[in-house]
Amino acid sequence: MKNIIVGINQPYYLPYIGFFDRMKACDVFVINGYYPLNRKGTHHKRVKIIQLKQNNEKDGLYLIEKIGKKVNKKLFNKIVLGESFWKSQKDHIDTLYRTYRRGPGFEYTKKLLEQMEDDSCITLGEYNFRLIVFLADRLRLKDKILDITKEKSFPKEIFTKKRNKDQSNKATYCNLMTCKFFGANLHIAGQNGPLWLDEKEFINNKIDVLYQKVGFVEYRQYPQKEIFLNGLSVVDLLFNCGENAKNIIGCGSTFVDRETLLRTTKLTGR
């Protein structure tokens, strides 16, 4: 029987390269806007790009989504975007343009800036999902993505009802039920999966589990070739490498069992 490999993730903002490494390894990559946003303050911080200093040295610069107050624990697809959000996005667009306009892949990727400025999206989940789709399309991975909030036959109560005492933690339960819905026999979890995922529940349902062991392939980051910063948003890869980015995605990460991951990798809980 052919493996059906499923990965699941929140609709992160301009995700880092490892996000798309895992997407490439899957048959179905579920973007789940039913996840709650866990954060402190009024920001959703998930993306880092290069910051060029006056002496052309490189450093990391965070782009932070400003999503207002009282949204902690709210679902991504329930967080309504306000005026301050769109104002901050214009600043992000300006920053990305200034940083990457001379990059070799700018022409290939520049429509991302139009996508970021389009204010037709109402919720954070919808907005981030649209950007993920654009980025995946540039990487030739678009066909793998599925927005679970648009899947009419999916039982949404999985995410909304309280779990029974005999069930494992809610995140494990939700991911397990999502994998079963798509007929998965292999689930690829993120690198921090061992911190929360109860693997026994998957094994009992005849679904194997592998974990991403994140790695990064070096590529030229304009304008200097000899200095490389890893862990950046995939936009850095696309603006620097253009169409060739699709050949780099998937080459850094490996997918291993729990024991191997814990023996070789320090988990951060990010």
Q: Using one digit for the tens of pLDDT, what is the confidence trace for 202-233? A: 999 999 999 999 999 999 888 666 678 899 99
Q: Which residue, 244, 184, 245, 182, is CA-closest to 209?
A: 184
Model pLDDT for residues 230-260, shown as the tens digit of each residue? 999 999 999 999 999 999 999 999 999 999 9
Model pLDDT for residues 87-119, shown as the tens digit of each residue? 999 999 999 999 999 999 999 999 999 999 999
Amino acid 67: pLDDT: 83
Complete DSSP assignment for 101-159: TTSTTHHHHTHHHHHHH-TT--BHHHHHHHHHHHHHHHTT-GGGEEEGGG-TTS-THHH
Structure tokens at 3: 């493996």
pLDDT higher than threshold 90 for residue 160? no
Q: What is the mean pLDDT of residues 176-203?
A: 94
Q: Are the C-beta atoms of residues 131 and 12 closer than 8 Å to each other?
A: no
Q: What is the CA radius of gyration of the chain?
A: 19
Cα dist. 198→176, 189, 253, 266, 270 in Å? 10, 11, 22, 19, 18
Q: What is the mean pLDDT of residues 148-163?
A: 83
Model pLDDT for residues 31-85, shown as the tens digit of each residue? 999 888 765 545 566 688 887 665 556 677 889 888 877 676 788 998 999 998 9
Structure tokens at 145: 């993505």
